[in-house]
Amino acid sequence: MKKTILVAGSLNMDMVIEMGRMPAVGETILGDTLSYVPGGKGANQACTVAKLDGSAVMLGCVGRDDFGEALRGNLSAAGVDVSRLKTGESSTGAASIYVDGAGNNSIVVIRGANQECDISYIDENDSLLRQCSYVMLQMEIPYETIFYVIEKAKEYGKTVILNPAPAPGPREIPEEIYKKIDFITPNETELMMLTGVLDCGRESLEKGAGLLLKKGVGNVMVTLGEQGAALINAQGSTYFPARRTAAVDTTAAGDCFNGAFVTALAEGMAVPEAIRYANAAASIAVSRKGAQSSIPDAKEVQSVLKESQLNGNNKNKD
């Protein structure tokens, strides 16, 4: 039987505006297209798990509106168990996303109903927490809920993965929580914000990760965009280069990486192998537009991995 991955997190409708370049502060520019795409870091990660043939169940909250219905429907069609999603009183969460001609993005999230993902709702779904094997979280639902889920998950002996995005400040995660995180998965900017270590060369990356390890985190996995990912733990640091791809839109690439990584772990892959798998999945996501619309399926990831093996470009760098 497949091991279940529980994702407690956000669901947003992404309003994506494509434009040649980002506007400067105070500037008005003409954009090219506007589209509505299912997103939200939690939902994107759950969607990735399901599309890669993992078993995903989601806890989160949408509004009683068309966006909520659309998000629920899209996740369910991907294969995520949405039967325990809450319908709140606020509007469904939304994100305004600017994507420039080079595939870079800027995102502003309005949390809306995600704010109603509260502790009593988690308690109502305690049986899910007990039954699953992995618990994944991000930072778009209330912090007190996130920390509560982490506490519970550890009490029940689950593997906890925290993607600290959007990044909290250095003192926003309580000290006692760090010890309960098996994998923390910031990108470089999030690592800086989380630790206060301010420039992003390899040395400071390892210094920042070292601070998190000292606080008791099991493994720090830093996503490095087109450079791939780094795993830093008590055994040392290992770098996993990414496959070269022309980026069309990097939205949700990190979510795809996280979802793919945990799916691979749940399938029994060792951590390095799971990171290679996640790198391959993310390299496909960046070549497509949108959040959930960019997530590959398992066959696509397998074919990229095969191609990488043939080209011999999937080796680690220490």
Q: Which stretch binds ligand RIB (CB under 6 A): 10-18, 168-176, 259-267, 307-315?
A: 10-18
Considering only 4, 7, 18, 40, the residue that binds ligand RIB (CB under 6 A) is: 40
One residue of 231, 252, 281, 282 binding ligand RIB per CB under 6 A: 252
Q: Does 18 bind ligand RIB (CB under 6 A)?
A: no
Does 140 contact ligand RIB by CB under 6 A?
A: yes
Minimum CB separation of residue 294 from ligand RIB in Å reads: 10
CA dihedral 240, 245, 250, 252 (to 10 degrees): -60
Contact call for residue 62 and ligand RIB (CB under 6 A): no
**One residue of 4, 7, 8, 39 binding ligand RIB per CB under 6 A:** 39
Among 57, 75, 107, 209, binds ligand RIB (CB under 6 A): 107
Contact flag: residue 161 with ligand RIB (CB under 6 A): no
Is residue 255 flagged as an active site residue?
Answer: yes
Judged by the rule CB under 6 A, the positions of this chain that interact with ligand RIB are 10, 12, 14, 39-41, 44, 95, 107, 109, 140, 251-252, 254-255, 291
